[in-house]
Amino acid sequence: MLNFRRMKHLYSIGLTIMMACAFPASTMAQMQYYIASSFGSRFNDINDSGMAVSGGGYFNFPTLTWSTIESGATETASINDSGDVAGSMYYDEPNYILQPAVRLNGTWTPIGWFPGADPAQSSFTTYSISPNGEWVTGQMSNGCCDFGTFLYNTTTGTLSSIFSTDYVAVAGYVVTNNGTIGGWADDQAMGSTHRIPVYITPDSTIVQVSPTPPLTGVNAVNDINASSQMVGDIDSHPFLYDLTSNTFTTFTIPPTYESATFTSISNTGVAVGYAQKFGDFGDLLRETIIYHPDLGPQPLLLKDILLANGVDINAPSGRMGTAIAISPDGQYIAGWDDQAPFAANGWVVYLDDLLFEGTTTAVREREQPSISVSPNPATDMVRIASPKEIASITLFNMDGQVVKQQTIGGTVGMVDISALTSGIYTLRATTPDASYVTRVVKQ
């Protein structure tokens, strides 16, 4: 059982943010950011109440408290707004053989295995529970290599298997209230991979969502919202497929990154995911992305929206990592930092109504400027000023690397940027009670 500590950071910056597009001028809102300190505490899902699941435990964002998984259960993978959870529990505890399971009304129930499957030779992954708690889906094998999708009805206790002679493997990542599944189907022979993003109808019909088959091998539908909008990735690009209008849209990959995907979409149409690339030493580096039509035509970096609203993630790498889920109401985003998933620390962002339908911009004006930089753009020296004493400043390049640090010790300071190459830099100014972030352009 994991030993979770309560938290590492809660960046609830002492800045009020004007909600000019939605509320009267006297009403303020505030984004918040939390990152756990426990090894391997990555979050897998989060609901409208701010309750997140993290492998072997639960995290309540409003109270910042952790609770461990119930006895007999071994993993939590997905949670809905009723608190129903999909995960796993023991099938044969002495031999550490597991099985998919579901928690309804606080009680875990085993789902079991496909008829005829040998649990000692087979495998499974539980992925999703439907919003109404009626369905659970994931991937399961008959033996070592024959992989299909499982669909479990919690009302009848019926476990169904979905295989197809047209595909060598099928996986279900998400399931809706009527039993529609989103995931992928692989049409290549064993030894190669060509996954096609698909949805599976309640009668087990497998439907390709993309207008043309993908060229690359790894593609999927990762989530479906209440409006039948599906998100995922195809040929390394994030996509959104609207089943109602039969519209398939792909999006660009953020600059300097090599691929991107949407992992989740809220019922308000906000999609989240990540972009990734290989680093200098072959490490896989990830940065969280977010998309909504009111924020612009292409995905943005979530950290930029947070910084624009006064919230500094203060990550050593400068990257947020992976966003894996957004709550149905679009208020909470959960994921993990830029480490290997098994070792990563989980994080939660609370948007506090700052992203909603009708918003016209991602960057809100603060009541008063917290920090000023002049001239900007600049070639040699910039003047940093703040109403509060600035302890120090840190400059980051676009890859999140620290390129300059300087002690200020006053409300005004001069910073020499003449040695920096031309480009855009993030400047973090630290005061006694907060961090303030802005952009500096070096000509």
Strand positions, DSSP E, 80-188 = 85-92, 97-104, 107-110, 124-129, 135-142, 146-153, 158-162, 169-175, 181-186
Amino acid at 147: F
Pair 415, 381: CB distance under 8 Å = yes
Q: What is the pLDDT of residues 120-140, one digit of tens each?
A: 999 999 999 999 999 999 999
342 and 405 share one domain: no
* Whether 61 contacts 75, CB under 8 Å: no
Domain count, the chain: 2
Domain presence at residue 364: no
DSSP state of 366: B
Asked if the structure places residue 356 within a domain, the reply is no
Q: At 315, list the tokens.
A: 């990550």
Q: Is 62 among the domain residues?
A: yes
> Which residues, at least 6 apart from 108, have a Cβ–Cβ distance to it below 8 Å?
70, 72, 73, 89, 101, 102
Structure confidence by residue, pLDDT tens digits, 378-416: 999 999 998 888 888 888 776 667 788 899 999 999 999
Q: Are 250 and 301 in contact (CB under 8 A)?
A: no
pLDDT value for 191? 67
pTM listed for this prediction:
0.77
Q: In angstroms, rounded to a whole number, what is the distance separating the alpha carbons of residues 277 and 287?
A: 9
pLDDT beneath 70, residues of the chain:
1-30, 190-191, 354-370, 398-400, 433-435
Residue 247 lies in a domain: yes
Q: Which CATH number belongs to the domain containing residue 240 in this structure? A: 2.130.10.10
Q: Give the separation between CA 165 and CA 324, rounded to whole angstroms.
A: 31
DSSP string of 251-283? Answer: -PPPTT-SEEEEEEE-TTS-EEEEEEEE-TTS-
Our CA angle for 289, 431, 290, nearest 5°, is 5
pLDDT at residue number 378: 92
pLDDT of amino acid 47: 96
Q: Are residues 327 and 379 in the same domain?
A: no
Does residue 407 share a domain with residue 345? Answer: no
Domain that holds residue 381: 372-442
